[in-house]
Structure 1
Amino acid sequence: MTLRAAGVVAGYGERTVLTGVDLTVEPGRITGLHGPSGSGTSTLAKVLALLHPRTGGTVTIDGEAVPGTGYRAPAALRRRVGLVFQSPRAATDPRWTLRQIIGEPLRDGRRAGRRPDVADLAARFRLTEDLLARFPHQVSDGQLQRACLARAVALGPRYLICDEATAMLDPSTTATIAHLVRELAAAGTGVLAVSHDRTLLRHWADDTHDIADLA
């Protein structure tokens, strides 16, 4: 039971960014991924989150090969992977309240017969009831990122990808996000933590890989 990239090749147009990359994310562990800006860490994160196409190699989720990306991938496989982006403000609709942001994916959950509660999700990530009625411009970056984290796990994914999820946060807020993600891992979620910060990964991840060493 793993999230695995095997020989992944991906890029943008004629520019290849990833060449034959192998990486495995195991349940219950935080796998760190380090690399400088432009090295392909975010591209690999998006490939594993089924949001960016690959031109070679395979992505498997719990032993099942994923045939495509986006809506070309089976919904059941898409729901197994959650993603938290670097900028919570770029990743949210400024016209939506935190309640709407967290509840965005739950429409699929209802069709699948599950009815997660937004208030329960918010409380899990230390967001009080009064914050749920606020809009992004009315909350801090840390509060908004915690809402994004709640949204990412709303459907109970087996794997969570944090793509520079703490890069825009202050040290105290970074520590809070890292602790919350560690709790998810302790409960069995497999986490890929992408960061340029080696020191952060040294304290956060169970093991860390440099993207330059994965090809």
Structure 2
Amino acid sequence: MLELRAITAGYDRRAPVVRSANLTIASGESVGLLGPSGCGKSTLARVAALLHRPDAGQVVIDGTVAGGWRHRAPREQRTAFGVVFQQPRLSADPRLALRELIAEPLRAVGRSAEVTALVPELAARVGLGKDLMGRRPHEVSDGQLQRACLARALVLGPRWLICDEMTAMLDASTTAALVHVVEEYRGESGAGLLAVGHDRVLLERWCDRTVGWGQVAE
């Protein structure tokens, strides 16, 4: 179970964008977090994925309180999360070819020996052809780059997926394809999902339950 307990967070302690937020996601459950732009959804998602240290509150992962944030988090907790952000061009190193982008987490945790097998498998899974794998972000479309970012999020076999407006910049067909990949992975792995967005129709079709921002935070 993933629990966010009384989370207060932001980028200025005098004016936090998240106040006393509480959210629980059971293992294998998919939860949609619905709210308008600027309300703090993305900040809460980053806290949930151990990428942003809250000013107050706790993140509890399978009964254990998070032991740190970003690179200071214990590896077991840090690698339990796969994250896909709204804007792939801001989350992808422009110097890396797509194959290196997908392989990045494996190399970071000392699993380089698995790159040869896992990267082509995941590229095919998200719908990236071999001809695209040597291209850099500026040489592919937003949809193609977001496919690579989803493959990167899945490469370590995470127990929790955080999709923060993952499909906001994509067309309907790419959106459907990426949601299908996420759900296929969850069906196989039992991973839990937090899908953040402002599209009520998409979240209600995608997730087991959808909660509004007012149900989560003050």
TM-score by length of structure 1 reads 0.94
Aligned length: 214
Partners of 1:102 and 1:154 within 8 A in 2: yes
Please give the per-residue CA displacement for 1:92-133, whole angstroms capped at 9, x wherever unaligned: 122211001101111134359866521112112121222111
Mapped to 1, the partners of 2:148 and 2:108 lie a distance apart of 18
Please give the per-residue CA displacement for 1:51-90, whole angstroms capped at 9, x wherever unaligned: 1111111101111101321122111110001110101111
Partners of 1:33 and 1:194 within 8 A in 2: yes
Partners of 1:8 and 1:56 within 8 A in 2: yes
Look up the equivalent residue of 1:38 and give its one-letter code: G
Q: State the secondary structure of the residue aligned to 1:16.
A: coil
Q: Which residue of 1 aligns with 2:196?
A: 194
Q: State the secondary structure of the residue aligned to 1:117.
A: helix
Partners of 2:106 and 2:112 within 8 A in 1: no
Q: Does 1:87 align with 2:94?
A: no
Q: Which residue of 1 aligns with 2:59?
A: 59
State the 1:27 CA deviation.
2.4
Look up the equivalent residue of 2:195 and give its one-letter code: A
With 176-185 and 163-172 compared, the bigger mean Cα shift is at 176-185
Structure with greater helix percent: 2
Which of the residues 210, 213, 216 maps onto 1:214? 216
Look up the equivalent residue of 1:203 and give its one-letter code: R
State the 1:194 CA deviation.
0.3
- 5+ long unaligned stretches in structure 2: none
Mapped to 1, the partners of 2:16 and 2:97 lie a distance apart of 38
Mapped to 2, the partners of 1:63 and 1:166 lie a distance apart of 31
Partners of 1:94 and 1:137 within 8 A in 2: yes
* RMSD of Structure 2 on Structure 1 (CA): 1.6
Mapped to 2, the partners of 1:74 and 1:88 lie a distance apart of 26
State the 1:29 CA deviation.
2.3
Look up the equivalent residue of 2:205 and give its one-letter code: H
Q: State the secondary structure of the residue aligned to 2:88.
A: coil
Q: Which residue of 2 aligns with 1:118?
A: 119
Q: Which residue of 1 aligns with 2:162?
A: 161
Mapped to 1, the partners of 2:137 and 2:200 lie a distance apart of 30
Partners of 1:159 and 1:191 within 8 A in 2: yes
Partners of 1:26 and 1:191 within 8 A in 2: no
Q: In the TM superposition, what are the counterparts of 1:67-86 in structure 2 within 5 Å?
A: 67-86=67-86
TM-score by length of structure 2 reads 0.92
Q: Which residue of 2 aligns with 1:7?
A: 6
- 5+ long unaligned stretches in structure 1: none
Q: In the TM superposition, what are the counterparts of 1:172-183 in structure 2 within 5 Å?
A: 172-183=173-184
- Using the aligned pairs only, state the percent identity: 52
Look up the equivalent residue of 1:170 and give its one-letter code: D
With 22-31 and 107-116 compared, the bigger mean Cα shift is at 107-116
